[in-house]
Amino acid sequence: MKLRSNQLLVSDDGDIIMGKGRMEILESIDRTGSINQTSKEMKMSYKTVWSKIKSTEKNFGKPVVHADKKTGTKLTDDGRTLLEKYRKLKKRCIQADDTIFNDIFLD
């Protein structure tokens, strides 16, 4: 038996800012420099990926990507910070969850 945890960062209104899927989208954009390439990697439509980015920006209150037809798409400083902090949060939550799970289930 295992515990599977899921961390979801939401706005005060309950709208998603960051979760595992959006983390993967931002990581792909950071790696590929392309929303189009990201949509192919993620097996999502371009419109869906762009919509999730726009929703994150709206709920976060800051731009997370900068798209330029000549230079491609890059994470903004705020986008990179959000991604790094979310990774840290996820890692620490999983560690804490594992400790709690072991205390309860592995007497």
pLDDT tens-digit series, residues 39-83: 999 999 999 999 999 999 999 999 999 999 899 999 999 999 999
What letter represents residue 54's amino acid? Answer: K
Q: Which long-range contacts (CB under 8 A, 24 or more apart) does 54-61 make?
A: 55/15, 55/16, 56/16, 56/17, 56/18, 56/22, 58/15, 59/10, 59/11, 59/13, 59/15, 59/16, 59/17, 60/11, 60/17, 60/18
Number of domains composing the chain: 1
- Look at residue 30 and tell me whether its pLDDT is greater than 80: yes
| Coil, helix or strand at residue 67 | strand
pLDDT band, residue 2 (cuts 50/70/90) = confident
Domain hosting 75: range is 16-105
- 85 occurs within a structural domain: yes
Q: Is 2 contained in some domain?
A: no
What's the pLDDT at 9?
97
